[in-house]
Amino acid sequence: MAVKYTREKLSDGIHYNSLINKRQKTNTLIIHLITELSPETASVNAIIPYVLSGSSESYPTLTALNKKLSSLYGAVIKGSVSKIGDSQTLSLMAGCINNRYTFDGEKITEEMTEMLAGCLVAPNTENGGFFEKDFLLKKQELLDDIDAEINEKRSYAFKRANLNIFKDEPAAISVKGDKSHAEKLTAKAAYEQYKKLLATAQIEVFFVGAEESESCKKIITDALASVDRNYAGDNTSAKSLLKSELCRVTESHDVAQSKMVMAFKTDYDNLVAMKLMNAVFGATPISKLFMNVREKLSLCYYCSSGYNDKKGVLYVDSGVEHTNTGKAEAEILNQLKAMCDGDFTDEEMENARKAIINSWKGVSDGARSIAEWYFNQCYSGTAYSPEEQIEKLMNTTREDIIEAARSLKLDTVYVLTGKDGAEA
H, E, C per residue of 242-259: CCCCCEEEEEECCCCCEE
SS3 label, residue 316:
strand
CB atoms within 10 A of CB 368: 13
Q: What single string gives the DSSP state of each residue in 348-416?
A: HHHHHHHHHHHHHHTGGGSHHHHHHHHHHHHHHT----HHHHHHHHHT--HHHHHHHHHT-EEEEEEEE
Q: For residue range 85-130, what is the model confidence (pLDDT) as tens digits?
A: 999 999 999 999 998 888 888 899 999 999 999 999 999 999 999 9
Identify the band that residue 256 occupies on the pLDDT scale cut at 50, 70 and 90: confident
Per the document, the length of the chain is 424
> Looking at the predicted structure, is the pLDDT value of residue 336 above 50?
yes
Residue 95 exposure: Cα atoms within 13 Å on the Cβ side: 13
> Looking at the predicted structure, is the pLDDT value of residue 422 above 50?
no
Calculate what percentage of the chain has a pLDDT beyond 90.
91
Using an 8 Å Cβ cutoff, are 319 and 301 in contact? yes
Going from the C-alpha of 281 to that of each of 309, 335, 393, the distances in angstroms are 16, 7, 16
pTM above 0.85, yes or no: yes
Closest by CA to 98, choosing from 30, 31, 21, is: 21
Q: Which domains does the chain have, with CATH numbers?
A: 4-225 (3.30.830.10), 247-417 (3.30.830.10)
Backbone angles phi, psi at 373, to 5 degrees: -55, -50
139-153, 230-244, 409-423: segment of lowest average pLDDT: 409-423
Average pLDDT over residues 244-252: 96
**Residue 235, C-beta contacts closer than 8 angstroms, at least 6 positions apart:** 34, 35, 36, 86, 87, 202, 379
pLDDT score for 301 = 94
Closest by CA to 363, choosing from 374, 354, 353, 352, is: 374
pLDDT score for 150 = 87
CB atoms within 10 A of CB 71: 12
> Looking at the predicted structure, is the pLDDT value of residue 420 above 70?
no
pLDDT score for 255 = 82
pLDDT score for 424 = 38
The amino acid at residue 131 is: F
> Strands 202-209 and 14-20: what pairing?
parallel
